[in-house]
Structure 1
Amino acid sequence: MGIKNVTRIVLMFFAVLVFSSCKDTNTGIHTNVTGKAGEVVVVISEEEWNSDIGQLIRQHLAQEHVALPQDEPLFDLVKVPHVAFTKIFKTTRNILQTQISSAVDTSRVVFKNDVWAQPQATVIIQAKNRAEFEQLFNENKDRILSYFIKAEKDRLTGNYNKYFERGVYNVLNDEFGVTMKVAPGFQIAEQKEDFIWLRYETPAISQGIVLYTFPYVSDSAFTENYLLKVRDSILRANVPGPTEGSYMATERRIEQVQNIIKHNGNYTSEMRGLWRLMNDYMGGPYISLAELDAANQRIIVAFGYVFAPNKDKRNYLRQVEAMIYSLKLNNQKENDLLNEQDAIEIDVQANQ
């Protein structure tokens, strides 16, 4: 499924974007955004959509999402001609407006928040001709993609900040020294020392988060092999499947996608891939964070997964991703001091 070839895209999930002179935010807009999660309305003429311009937009914004069991695009694109771009479309969550005309004074890319609704992300590309449009788009395509991805995550985070399962929040706070805001309906399936399994079940889908900790003893704790070894050992012992002898494990027949980032300012490994049930036939995508709690010399792992047979999984995984990214350490101030003093740098490559 070409996971290795699209690893570069994962990095954009962690970009901290600063749109200053080219980003505008309107206030006083009270209309809520409309449309489906993961959609981008592209305002473009039929002629341009069927040209190299449209192909360029589709190739980038609708490229394959990394680490899913079936092909799904990063975004679903909805083409809307300029004359049809009326009120019904102006309140959609993500909008890419194009203008290619000799009447354009200055070719530019503009990022605007909350133009017609909130929380809304709008990108406007103005160019005098197709050649200038292609140049502008290619120069800014990663920023455009990151902007829309971040907007999707921020909307979910905003929802979970308002509405979250307080019982789970309190248990994590009291028993694990961390907080995490998971969606209402998540229940504790299993809890042990340094381990908790949260899940949300419906007849159609299952979303889960497994949080566990283990000692940080050396840099090798952040290598892919070591993280997978610990994870699979913990999953086998604590996350059984529905049939006797079945248990959750990492799908090792495909490559994992690992990136080293900073989360809350702490050294963190983000990993994506697929999970499976051993001795059974269930599986799906996962995303995990392994974050260093230097003050307690431990690593905290939040492993989020989705099981949604016969359904698209991208949006369900993005929901779980937003939840695990809400992870915060209660002793973060102590870690901030250690991070500043030690400037922690861990070499995982040498220990793979």
Structure 2
Amino acid sequence: MVRYLLSFICSVVLLTGCSSSSQKMIPAFSGSVGEVVVVVPNPDWNGRVGDALKAVYQEPQYGLPQQEPMFTVINVQKANFTSVFETFRNIVRVHIDPQMQGKANYEMKKNQWAKDQIVVELYAPDKDAMVTLLEENKSNLQEIFNLKEIDRLIKRNNKFGSQKEVETIEATLGVSMVLQKDVRIAKLDSNFMWLRIERERPKGGYMHQISQGILVYSYDYTDQEQFSDSNLFAVRDSLIGTHVIGTSEGAHMVTDYKYAPPLVREIDYRNHYAKEMRGLWRMTVDIMGGPMYSLVFLDEQNNKIILASGYVFAPEFDKLEFIRETEAMIKSITIPEA
């Protein structure tokens, strides 16, 4: 198991839009979830700079059963970067200028040409410096768009999602969440909740199953050792193994430690100490599996640990879209003030 300490400042987790009156005149962003427009000349895109850009934005997302890139990249020539592309949700612009003064750097701009848009500008005096800039800031550059996509999904769910279930959860479990539509409460009591979304989508002339679930468990905090990886795995495995049962006798959900050992990193989650985990789950006995995302954080106000674990089962489809939706619901969890 590899542990990563998040270096990117997570106060940027919920990247909020500008509220000035001038922003009211710009259009809504365009493009699909996870799409990134990269503005760079073809010779650079097909060379070392392009390889470095692809290593950042097309790196396979960890914790999926089949390889899927973090983002869908659309390469655009500078001359072709017109109003059609300016409103895209995520944009990267590459500037290589031999006359540039100072070191290579990057900056993030919000709402440049569209509401809730993020534009990343990369500056370097030459190709070598641009490649180094991308390599040294890879995680932060990925995080800018990853966190923004989560933020957009939370905003979407807040506008169109399930409200009745949110009120029931807060009154019973004592946490607040923003849920997407079609969520149903499978189980709920004062310290445990299981949310499920069951739906179908067409593919190849047939309808195919998509299942998403989130389990949330609240338990007493006694000492920091409870946040050791082994303790967190034990609690999560007990939780999913008890509640998520297969169709065959003795079948239940377990963490897949063999093919994709859980990737764990410490983060600051809304000013709470936290860890997040990515990996795979599988069913014992039954032939089923898929991606899993978990978040565990300390609720200092109530001296509790909140563990939320989400899973996806969608055997006929790519999984990134669905695990991102699940992560967004988990990352909407807040503790109401007493």
Q: TM-score range by the shorter chain?
A: 0.7 to 0.9
Does 1:54 find its partner at 2:57? no
The number of residue pairs the alignment matches comes to 322
For 1:322, which of 325, 328, 338 is the aligned residue? 328
Does 1:67 find its partner at 2:63? yes
Other-structure match for 2:233: 228
**How far apart, in 2, do the equivalents of 1:151 and 1:315 lie?**
14
For 2:6, which of 8, 11, 14 is the aligned residue? 11
TM-score (normalizing by structure 2): 0.85
Residue 119 of structure 1 aligns to which amino acid in structure 2? D
For 1:257, which of 263, 273, 285 is the aligned residue? 263
Q: Is the 8 A contact 1:12 1:146 kept in 2?
A: no
Distance 1:273 1:138, change over 3 A: closer
Other-structure match for 2:145: 148
Gaps of 5+ in 2: 201-208
Distance 1:227 1:62, change over 3 A: same
Distance 1:191 1:139, change over 3 A: closer
**How far apart, in 2, do the equivalents of 1:159 and 1:142 lie?**
26
Other-structure match for 1:350: none
Other-structure match for 2:204: none
Q: Determine helix, strand or coil for the equivalent of 1:169.
A: helix
Q: Determine helix, strand or coil for the equivalent of 1:27.
A: helix
Moved more, 202-211 or 265-274: 265-274
Other-structure match for 1:171: 168
**How far apart, in 1, do the equivalents of 2:97 and 2:299 lie?**
54
The answer to which structure has the higher helix fraction is 1
Q: Determine helix, strand or coil for the equivalent of 2:218.
A: strand
Moved more, 249-258 or 306-315: 249-258
How much does 1:178 deviate?
A: 0.9
How much does 1:102 deviate?
A: 4.5
Does 1:38 find its partner at 2:43? no
**How far apart, in 1, do the equivalents of 2:122 and 2:226 lie?**
45
Other-structure match for 1:337: none
**How far apart, in 1, do the equivalents of 2:263 and 2:291 lie?**
12
Distance 1:191 1:143, change over 3 A: closer
Distance 1:188 1:207, change over 3 A: same
**How far apart, in 2, do the equivalents of 1:40 and 1:178 lie?**
34
Q: Determine helix, strand or coil for the equivalent of 1:202.
A: strand
Provide, for residues 80-99 of structure 1, a one-character-per-residue CA deviation record: whole Å limited to 9, x for no partner.
11222222211111111123
Q: Determine helix, strand or coil for the equivalent of 1:275.
A: strand
Q: Determine helix, strand or coil for the equivalent of 2:116.
A: coil
Provide, for residues 277-309 of structure 1, a one-character-per-residue CA deviation record: whole Å limited to 9, x for no partner.
122111111111222234433322111111111
Residue 243 of structure 2 aligns to which amino acid in structure 1? N
**How far apart, in 2, do the equivalents of 1:139 and 1:260 lie?**
20
Does 1:82 find its partner at 2:78? yes
TM-score (normalizing by structure 1): 0.82
Residue 79 of structure 2 aligns to which amino acid in structure 1? V
Residue 143 of structure 2 aligns to which amino acid in structure 1? S
**How far apart, in 2, do the equivalents of 1:104 and 1:217 lie?**
55
For 2:220, which of 208, 215, 219 is the aligned residue? 215
**How far apart, in 2, do the equivalents of 1:329 and 1:144 lie?**
29
The answer to which structure, 1 or 2, has the higher relative contact order (CA under 8 A, 6+ apart) is 2
Provide, for residues 207-249 of structure 1, a one-character-per-residue CA deviation record: whole Å limited to 9, x for no partner.
1111122232333322222222222223232222233432222
Residue 307 of structure 2 aligns to which amino acid in structure 1? V
Other-structure match for 1:94: 90
Distance 1:209 1:129, change over 3 A: same
Gaps of 5+ in 1: 334-352
Distance 1:141 1:193, change over 3 A: closer
Q: Is the 8 A contact 1:288 1:301 kept in 2?
A: yes
**How far apart, in 1, do the equivalents of 2:159 and 2:231 lie?**
36
Provide, for residues 302-341 of structure 1, a one-character-per-residue CA deviation record: whole Å limited to 9, x for no partner.
111111113211121111111111111124x6xxxxxxxx
- Matched-pair identity in %: 34
Distance 1:91 1:82, change over 3 A: same
Residue 31 of structure 2 aligns to which amino acid in structure 1? G
Q: Is the 8 A contact 1:13 1:149 kept in 2?
A: no
Other-structure match for 2:273: 267
**How far apart, in 2, do the equivalents of 1:45 and 1:234 lie?**
51
**How far apart, in 1, do the equivalents of 2:7 and 2:312 lie?**
22
How much does 1:123 deviate?
A: 1.4
Residue 130 of structure 2 aligns to which amino acid in structure 1? F
Moved more, 51-60 or 230-239: 230-239
